[in-house]
Structure 1
Amino acid sequence: MSNLVVNQLTHPQRVRLLYKTILRLHRGMPTELRALGDGYVRDEFRRHLKCNPMEAQLFMTEWARYASTITQQLGLRGKPKGELGEEMDPNAVEMLKDDQVVQLYELMLAAKGLDGDTITADDVRGSSKSK
């Protein structure tokens, strides 16, 4: 889609376009990873329906970056060209809120197929106070 057309879209239309693009990209992933990714994307987009404009801009930027990364990693035919994903910058991890750290940890457990080992935001706060 050309920049001219995208610039004419309303914010909700841009969000919907990005959401559908990501779900379409996930079709090229292995079945288990696609199910995990689709669920996570749905949850994140629902969770940010009523966020403030500054959070919305950051949200859209990061998800557009994700879509770009997945596009490069899947290639034109939608087949992975090696590893999917990328390492997270340790500085970015340090800037996450407690509930985001919990969510990231639970996502890692789900991706690795580990069940039952969950933590809460209180666990994160408690462990950071003891350090």
Structure 2
Amino acid sequence: MSQIIIDQLTHAQKVRILYKTILRLHRGLPEELRDLGDKYARDEFRRHLQCSPMEAQLFMTEWAKYAVTITSQLGLKGKAMGTIGGELDSNTVEMLKEDQVIQLYELMLAAKGLEGDTITAKDIHNSK
């Protein structure tokens, strides 16, 4: 899409395009990761429906980076070419709020098939 066309879109249209792009990219993931990724993206996009303009800009930027990362990790035919995902650097983890750390931990449990485990304050402090 050319920059002129993108500039003419409303914020809601840009969000919808990004969301649909992410779901389309998830089709190239293994089934269990696709399901997890689709649920997570759906939840995050819904959770940010009423966020402030500054939060919305950060949200869109981070999800666009995610889309670029996933695109680079999928082959031309849309199938994973090796490792999917990447390591979080310690600076990024340090900047997370406590509820974000919990959410990240729960996402890790779900990705490892350990859903149902609980997180405690001790788990959060041990991970730092």
**TM value normalised by structure 2:** 0.93
**For this pair of structures, how many residues does the alignment match?**
126
Q: Report whether the alignment pairs 1:36 with 2:36.
A: yes
Whether the 8 Å CA contact 2:101–2:124 is kept in 1: the answer is no
Question: Are 2:121 and 1:124 equivalent residues in the alignment?
Answer: yes
Aligned ranges for residues 24-103 of structure 1 at < 5 Å?
Answer: 24-103=24-103
CA contact (8 A) 1:98 1:124 kept: no
Pairwise CA distance, 1:126? 9.2
- Taking a change above 3 Å as real, the CA distance of residues 98 and 78 of structure 1, as seen in their structure-2 partners, is same
User: In angstroms, what is the RMSD of aligned CA positions?
Assistant: 1.7
1:46 CA displacement: 0.1
Distance 2:91 2:121 in 1: 17
Runs of 4+ residues deviating >6 angstroms: none
Aligned-partner Cα distance in 2 for 1:4–1:70: 25
| CA distance in 1: counterparts of 2:50 and 2:95, whole angstroms | 22
- SS of 2:118 mapped into structure 1: coil
Amino acid at match of 1:14: K
Task: Quote the residue 2:18 is aligned against.
Answer: 18
Question: What TM-score do the two structures reach when normalised by structure 1?
Answer: 0.91
CA distance in 2, matches of 1:61, 1:95: 16
- Which consecutive unaligned segments of at least 5 residues does structure 1 have? none
After superposition, the C-alpha distances for 1:76-114 in whole angstroms (9 at most, x for unaligned) are: 210111100010011110110110000000000000001
